[in-house]
Structure formats: C-alpha cells, structure tokens
Chains A and B, each alone.
Chain A
Amino acid sequence: DQQVKQNSPSLSVQEGRISILNCDYTNSMFDYFLWYKKYPAEGPTFLISISSIKDKNEDGRFTVFLNKSAKHLSLHIVPSQPGDSAVYFCAAMNSGGYQKVTFGTGTKLQVIP
C-alpha cells in the first residue's frame, strides 16, 4: 500500500521556467511533509518542509503548497536551474508518533539549459 505517491516518474523543464512536482498521500494521520532532493550516489538532502497547519511554505526559489482536503502537495521551483536536476522525494509523517517517515517513489527532474 503506497501511502505517498509521486505519479510522475520524470519531468523535463527548460532553464528559467517553473518546475512543479506533485505528491499525493492517503493517510489522514500525516501532518508533516518534507521534500528531499537526491543526486546520484549521494544521500537525500532535505529541501523544505510544511506542517499541516499551513498551506504554503517558501524558501528562496522553493515553495511547497499543501492542500489537505485533496491530500495533495506540490513543490514549485522558480526559476529552475540546471543544478536542480535530481530526483525529488516527497515524504510524509505523523509528527506525534515515532516520526516514522514514509517516502514517495521520487520524480526525476531534468532542467534543460
């Protein structure tokens, strides 16, 4: 049972344009969401997070939007840069529990110069 889903395995975007990565979840107990970025042969790197009490969190070029009623979140990267090319994992957790994080399967983003 895949509780966190990233339905787009890959995405190509032109440099300077907006990248939008999507994530859906099924577990209504999830109340904290994170995005990680992963380069080949490296560990995932924390990017940005959002609590369920918010619907938007912004950090520089990265913005995460949360739609609790739709159980959907998205990561916007504006403007996209070639260095953003990586695999992006969406993750979700119940912060009141043992902080076990459930990861999506990832979306491979390619930013074309």
Chain B
Amino acid sequence: DSGVTQTPKHLITATGQRVTLRCSPRSGDLSVYWYQQSLDQGLQFLIQYYNGEERAKGNILERFSAQQFPDLHSELNLSSLELGDSALYFCASSRSETQYFGPGTRLLVL
C-alpha cells in the first residue's frame, strides 16, 4: 500500500460526458502528479501540482483540467469525453525525487 488513494476504482461513462477523478496523496506529500496509461502504452505525464499550484504540464488535453485543494487532495476533470480517453489514470505523490503511485482509476468511455 503506497498510501496514495484514488477514487473511483472504475468508471464507465458515455462519450460527451464529464467525469471527475479524485486523489488523496500520502500524508505530508505536497506534490501530486497525474498520469494516463492507455492500452499497451507507457505512462504519459499529464500535470503536476505542488502545494495547490500548478508546477508542470505534460501532454494534457484542453478538455482535461486539474486542481489541488488546500487539504492537498487533487481532482482531475475530464470533459467532452471521447472513446480514446478510455485508459487507466494514475495519481502519484511525492516529497522528494521518488513518486508513489495510487492504484489508479480505470475509465471506460462507451
């Protein structure tokens, strides 16, 4: 158990819809990262937050947004969903170089 929690574990929705994925970092970790893993693909970095502020952006679509709240939990919002957005979405947290990953949210867009 990494100490990073993610909800929900599974999510099934339809194209055009909007969903919110939630992540609670390890206690004391100020940085939160979001990654997408599509079928048979590596981990694609989406975005990083540090203590509530956006720190770095990766290959994140304009339809996607994220935020980190004062209690340090983070939410990833995915809107106007397309079939190709079906993937595993991982959150990770860190306080140094090593990132610790949550179990992921499996999103299926039908």
- To the question of whether A and B form a pair in one complex, the answer is yes
Chain A residues packing against B (C-beta within 8 Å): 32, 34, 36, 41-46, 49, 89, 93, 95, 98-106
Bound Cα distance A5, B38 (Å): 17
Dominant SS at the B interface?
strand
Query: Beyond A32-B97, A43-B4: 12 further Cβ-contacts under 8 Å?
Result: A34-B97, A43-B6, A43-B92, A43-B102, A44-B101, A46-B98, A46-B100, A98-B50, A98-B55, A99-B94, A100-B45, A106-B42
If the complex has contacts A43-B4, A44-B90, are A101 and B101 also in contact, measured as CB distance less than 8 A?
Answer: no
Distance (whole angstroms) from the CB of B54 to the closest CB of chain A: 10
Residues of B with C-beta under 8 A to A49? 97-98
The chain A residue sitting closest to B58, CB to CB, is: A100
Chain B residues packing against A (C-beta within 8 Å): 2, 4, 6, 31, 33, 35, 41-43, 45, 48, 50, 55-56, 58, 90, 92, 94, 97-104, 106
Residues of B with C-beta under 8 A to A98? 48, 50, 55-56
Bound Cα distance A96, B54 (Å): 17
